[in-house]
Structure 1
Amino acid sequence: MNSINVPNSKWYVVYTYPNYEKKVQSIFLRSNIPCFLPVQTVIRNWSDRKKAVEIPLFPNYIFVYADHKTKYQVLNVYGVSRYVSSNGAPVTISENEIDVIKKLMVVPGIVVERKVDAGDLVEITDGAFEGIKGVVFKKSSKSRLGIKIRGINQFLSIEIGMSSIKKCEIKI
């Protein structure tokens, strides 16, 4: 869901009970609370069949666009554990980071990286993702670009050709 211009509203990260992300999203939508649950389609194998299912890109996390009043409503939703916080304050995510996640979700083979080794800071120089900055790292002998989502300290990664990036000195 796109954020709406509500004064003093920001994107926050909510931590949910295990496997409650979609239930929480449904309650938020019924309550007119703008939210964003990034999902990815994966193939699951059962003994008798294979099925494509949507799973959360970030297990146990959902993003919510809330003002001061709505922040407290969110905590009353069954399935919400707490806000992700840092130094005692709820973590906010920029509109730009939400847009980056939305753009990257259309890329096949996106992987959430739990740990990324230090590498070169780069910027994509062409294509649909031009201007996105990230960290280059290797995985299974493929070049990947990791984009850090600061609020939840996780990384998204995509395969990228080395000719489509340039080294940058700007802090990400």
Structure 2
Amino acid sequence: MENAQQEKNWYVVVTYPNLERKALLNLLKNNFIAFLPLQKVQRKWSDRKKTIEIPLFPNYLFININEKDRFEALDIYGVKRYVTFGGRPAFISETDILNIKRIVESVDLYIEHSLVKGDAVKIIGGPFKDMIGILFKKSGQARFGIRVESMNQTLSIEICHTLIRKVF
């Protein structure tokens, strides 16, 4: 039992809204090992567009802690509670945390949440890079239409949603 309490696991922590970074900083200041995956998104204001970093999982972060010290983290400003399953705190495997870190650290993690059917989008990778078209449907794969004006035709292709960006 003593050994099990000393073993550290990655737990999922719920934060108060928009306090993910503050909770992370407070956890780190108190010598906890914590991880907040961030993603880049492009936001448009009336006068400019700006790329900002936001949490990949809003209101969640990960903390590597042993069972004995688990309750101490709840005293940290910004931390609300642990995610639980069946009354027990949910923990994530080290492999899953490493995979999330690898994805976040990849060249450009950019997730577009605001795409809807009918949006004008641009392909940012692959053989159709820089083509602009209309999004026909949104799912794991997006149906993308490319309008060829000179022929008065529309071509339709399936493309991964990570390869398209909204055209503002």
Runs of 4+ aligned residues of structure 1 deviating over 6 Å after TM superposition are none
Structure 1 residues 154-165: aligned runs within 5 Å:
none
User: Are positions 1:138 and 2:141 aligned together?
Assistant: yes
Change (3 A) 1:59 1:112: farther
Aligned residues of 1:15 and 1:62 also touching (Cα < 8 A): yes
Task: Please state whether the residue corresponding to 1:78 is helix, strand or coil.
Answer: coil
Which position in structure 1 is the counterpart of 2:108? 108
Change (3 A) 1:51 1:77: same
Aligned residues of 2:40 and 2:109 also touching (Cα < 8 A): no
Change (3 A) 1:48 1:143: closer
Task: Please state whether the residue corresponding to 2:7 is helix, strand or coil.
Answer: coil
Q: Which has the higher helix share?
A: 2
Deviations 1:127-166, CA, capped at 9 Å, x for gaps: xxxxxxxxxx42343247xxxxxxxxxxxxx66xxxxxxx
Which position in structure 2 is the counterpart of 1:96? 95
Aligned-pair distance for 1:61?
0.4
Identity percentage over the alignment? 42
Which position in structure 1 is the counterpart of 2:125? none
User: Are positions 1:70 and 2:43 aligned together?
Assistant: no
Give the RMSD, CA atoms, in angstroms.
2.4
Aligned residues of 1:17 and 1:60 also touching (Cα < 8 A): yes
* Aligned-partner Cα distance in 1 for 2:74–2:33: 14
Aligned-pair distance for 1:87?
0.2
Aligned residues: 119
Deviations 1:107-131, CA, capped at 9 Å, x for gaps: 5355499xxxxxxxxxxxxxxxxxx
Aligned-pair distance for 1:50?
2.3
Which position in structure 2 is the counterpart of 1:14? 13
Aligned residues of 1:33 and 1:70 also touching (Cα < 8 A): no
64-73 vs 10-19, which moves further: 64-73
- Computing the radius of gyration from Cα coordinates, the structure with the larger value is 2
Task: Please state whether the residue corresponding to 1:139 is helix, strand or coil.
Answer: strand
Change (3 A) 1:112 1:98: farther
Which position in structure 2 is the counterpart of 1:43? 42
Which position in structure 2 is the counterpart of 1:32? 31
Change (3 A) 1:30 1:71: same
* Aligned-partner Cα distance in 1 for 2:50–2:95: 33
Aligned-pair distance for 1:37?
0.3
User: Are positions 1:55 and 2:54 aligned together?
Assistant: yes
